[in-house]
Structure 1
Amino acid sequence: MTITFGAGVSSAVALAQQTLELTAQADRDGLDVFSVSDHPYVASRLDAYSLVGMALGRTDRIAGLVNVTNLPLRPAPMLARTVTSLTALSQGRLVLGMGAGGAWDEIVRLGVPRLEPAAAVRAFEEGIRLVRLLSGGGGPVTFDGEFYRVDGLRPAAATPAPVWTGSNGPRSLAVTGRVADGWIPGHAADWLSERYRTSRPIIDRAAEEAGRDPRQVRTVYNLPGVITPRPLAATRDHDGRWIGGSAGQWIEELTGAVLEHGASGFIYFAPDEAASKDAVAAWAREVVPGVRQAVGS
């Protein structure tokens, strides 16, 4: 499997031009994907899909990922149109990140009815299925679900985007196993974390019950940390959480994550988004080539 390497970029309004420059730099340096957060209820943040569209228009190869789409605020039929439009315009350079919604106190301030957790997960699965039905062309779609209904809506001809989820709870993890292409563990959990050890089996079991090969569901990690000129004495803190280290220490750690733990992607988040240019450059030019060479990707 090809290993995906990406970088998280800021959605701050104040850093808008810097973010566009950083996505262009990441594209030139050969990264596979850039990632932006989706918080439409925060005035100081850019609309995620507007940012992705602008960045894709200024780049040639890199894909865009909203990490992850706030589905309650982006109804599935319209989200499908957004995603297929960007996919067509960028020649397939889009990954659809999907979440059930977490900050409900903020979400309802935009006039969206609150969903209880179980209902939010059902809407999450329904939304993924409907977005897929409305992608890839074909005959008109009629969908009569619990949360979404469309009548005779013709799918866009654009190739369906891969779907990566930000699932956390058991029910949403099972949805990931049934219908998604990738999983981004929440709270920057990594391959040595308790969250990963207890969550990934739920995905695998659900995939098998749905008749899928669990290996079809990739694990892609959001990975913060410092990249230092010299090795650190310890690359993890007392709780076992990754801190970072020299490029050589990063390469050793990520190579082990791929070869020993089945990791299939890493999205790097610099510790300071306002000063991320040099950190992302070190990631793309030093760490990523070393890992690619070590794992044969």
Structure 2
Amino acid sequence: MHDLWFGAFLSPEAAGRDRLLRHVTLADQLGLDLVGIQDHPYQADFLDTWTLLSAIAERTERIRLVPDVINLPLRPPAVLARAAASLDLLSGGRVELGLGAGAFWDAIEAMGGRRLSPPESIEALAEAITVLRALWTPGEPVVFEGTHYRLGGAKPGPFPAHTIGIWIGAIKRRMLELTGRMADGWLPSSFYSPPETVAAQAKVLDAAAVDAGRDPAAIRKVYNIGGSFSPLPGPGFLDGPAALWAEQLTELVFEVGMTGFVLAPGLEAERDLRTFAQEVAPAVREAVAKELGRPAPGPVATPVTLSDLDEAGRPHAPKQEPAALTPEQRRLGRHLVQVHDGYRQELRQVQDAVEQVAAGRLDAGELRSTINRLTMRQNHWTLGTFCATFCRLLTVHHTIEDESMFPAILERDSTLAPVIKKLEQEHEVIAELLTRLDEACVELLRDPAGIDRVRGRADRLSEVLSSHFAYEEEELVEPIARLGIRL
């Protein structure tokens, strides 16, 4: 059985590139095993995948780099072989190659690619795999005569630092059969193949591997996943606390043969990545090791705490079994998460606005420099107003909690007093961070060079709020539901 790998599936949005790189750095620090980047060369709002992976390699130390998956019709396999091998050498052997036969054919054709029928695209993919492996293997110049790709004496090389795995994104029978015959790995996604579907697809793949004389267990199965972390279990797949996630993913290891899980985080990406790396991944590894009679693996990374909040000193109330809750009670509990999600989205917009100002994207041209300066000033005013509005709204939210929600909870369950006291203390910390962010935004109006100060304070606020919201949801969602507290 392959070692279990856990990773992050991140969107290469050009407008959010600074946030994306922060998430990549965090994933590496948390000890996640790989980062997957989708490849849509025809998408004008996306960064180029190979360029982005090179930047990620420079910023990280250990995490594996996976295009998830490469759009083959717009990436000639001979050039792709050189690119993948080059990045593998430069990154110290950290590249795996996800391949797709192609989709969105109108967009591919608009970029100059050839429109292929489903059978043709699968045939082209099989030829591309042959070309890739030939150019990664030392030997004589390669001659290959395929229907879609040809090599007329191409010299192999450069040679990758390690054997690059070719993982196929496949959901339909013919692609699954090709994966079973030729690929090193399989990259399905829960967005298209939920657990019941992916189990049936795995059987097709495994049967094709056996027919080709291969051991199905030799093919690494890596599942792109998405879900919602919340204190109460929900009705869907990966909808609930980390323990529920670990249970469902462990089932997929034994029932489907999955050996990798790559998370597409939600609005609260930092929180999701931390929970996935520090709670879900260790629990799955421990459960699998126990079932197989192996020693439990040690921690991959040391959790990072935030000194502002004294995370280590947080009290935790005894958790009660939520199975007896009615649908209405569950709705009341989840409402707190929904309120927090609104603030998570707002804070993300604040951070994006900071990056737009920092990038100076309001360019009226050299001949209109005076107008450009006025436009930049207006942009600073807009950011200052945005920051001030967010700070004011979040302060109101915490005031409502302190003066209304917390007393209502304590009136019905006094055992939560230590938790409530800690949350009130954290509100004071957050209030100070809000004040500092607002001050930095005001100062930016006088000195545009102060954008780095705004960025730093917005990032710090994001980290602290992420931790605070997660703690509050962990401790209060269940009591709010059980006690029938209406927010």
TM-score > 0.5 by shorter chain: yes
- Give the aligned partner of residue 37 of structure 1: 38
Shift in Å at residue 188 of structure 1?
2.9
Distance in 2 between the 1:199 and 1:141 partners?
35
Which secondary structure does the structure 1 equivalent of 2:81 belong to?
Answer: helix
1:227 offset after TM fit, Å? 1.5
SS in 2 for 1:291: helix
Structure 2 contact 190–226 (Cα < 8 Å) conserved: no
Cα distance, 1:64–1:289 mapped onto 2, change above 3 Å:
same
Aligned counterpart for 2:240 among listed residues 245, 248, 265 = 245
Q: Hey, what does 1:202 align to over in structure 2? A: 204
Q: Which amino acid aligns with 1:9?
A: L
Give the conservation status (yes or no) of the 8 Å contact 1:72–1:107: yes
Counterpart AA for 1:218: R
Secondary structure at the counterpart of residue 34 of structure 1: strand
Corresponding residue number in structure 1 for 2:26: 25
Taking a change above 3 Å as real, the CA distance of residues 149 and 134 of structure 1, as seen in their structure-2 partners, is: same
Paired letter, 1:153: A
Deviations 1:170-220 (A, max 9, x none): 211111011111112245356732x22332222122212222111111221
Q: How does 1:193-232 map to 2 (within 5 A)?
A: 193=196, 195-228=197-230, 230-232=231-233
- Alignment-derived partner of residue 135 in structure 2: 134
1:220 match: secondary structure = strand
Does the 8 Å CA contact 1:165/1:183 hold for their aligned counterparts?
Answer: yes
1:179 to 177, 182, 188: 182
Question: Which residue is 2:150 aligned to?
Answer: 149
Q: 1:186 to 1:227 in 2, by over 3 A?
A: closer
Specify which of 241, 244, 259 is matched with residue 264 of structure 1. Answer: 259
Aligned to 1:3: 4
Counterpart-to-counterpart distance in 1, 2:166 and 2:25: 24
Shift of 1:21: 1.5
Q: Is the 8 A contact 1:183 1:219 kept in 2?
A: yes
Looking at structure 2, the residues matched to 15 and 174 of structure 1 have their Cα atoms a distance apart, in angstroms, of 37
Aligned letter for 1:162? G
- The unaligned stretches of length 5 or more in structure 1 are 237-241
Following the alignment from structure 1 to structure 2, what is the Cα–Cα distance between the partners of residues 254 and 136? 36
Q: Secondary structure at the match of 2:16?
A: helix
How many pairs does the alignment contain? 287
Instruction: Name the SS of the counterpart of 1:14 in structure 2.
Output: coil
Does structure 1 retain, via aligned residues, the 8 Å contact 2:221–2:259? yes
Aligned twin of 1:119: 120
Task: Find out whether 1:291 has 2:287 as its counterpart.
Answer: no
Paired residues of 1:129 and 1:179 also in contact (CA < 8 A)? no
Deviations 1:140-161 (A, max 9, x none): 2111111111122222222331
Q: Which deviates further from its counterpart, 85-94 or 184-193?
A: 184-193
Contact 1:231–1:249 (CA<8 Å) still a contact in 2? no
CA 1:172/1:261 → structure 2, altered by over 3 Å: closer, same or farther?
closer
> Do the aligned residues in 2 keep the contact of 1:132 with 1:160 (CA within 8 Å)?
no
**Which residue does 2:82 correspond to in 1?**
81
Q: What's the CA shift string for 1:23-69, capped at 9, x where partnerless?
A: 11111111110011111111111111111111011111001111110
1: CA distance, partners of 2:279 / 2:238: 17
C-alpha distance in 1 between matches for 2:39 and 2:250: 30
Q: Counterpart of 1:94 in 2: which secondary structure? A: coil
Structure 1 partner of 2:164: 161
The TM-score, its normalising length taken from structure 1, stands at 0.92
Query: In the TM superposition, what is the alpha-carbon distance from 1:252 to its structure 2 partner?
Result: 1.7
> Residue 88 of structure 2 aligns to which amino acid in structure 1?
T
| Alpha carbons 1:136, 1:160 under 8 Å: kept | no
Contact 1:167 1:186 in 2 (8 A): no
**Aligned-partner residue type, residue 285 of structure 2:** R
Gaps of 5+ in 2: 290-296, 298-487
Preserved CA contact (<8 Å) 2:243 2:280: yes
Residue number in structure 2 paired with 1:108:
109
Deviation at 1:128, TM superposition (A): 1.3
Distance in 2, matches of 1:187 and 1:2, equals: 21
Q: Distance in 2 between matches of 1:59 and 1:91?
A: 11
Structure 2: distance between partners of 1:186 and 1:247 = 20
Query: CA 1:188–1:182 in structure 2 vs 1: closer, same or farther (change >3 Å)?
Result: farther
Give the C-alpha shift of residue 231 in structure 1. 3.0
Q: Secondary structure at the match of 1:287?
A: helix
**Counterpart amino acid of 2:37?**
V
Give the fraction of aligned pairs with identical amino acids, expressed as a percent.
38
CA deviations 1:108-144 (Å, max 9, x no partner) are: 0011121111101100111112111111433321111
Question: Quick check: 251-260 or 285-294, which moved more?
Answer: 251-260
Identify which range, 114-123 or 152-161, moves more after superposition: 152-161
Distance 1:106 1:260 in 2: 37
Structure with larger Rg = 2
The Cα shift of 1:264 comes to: 0.9
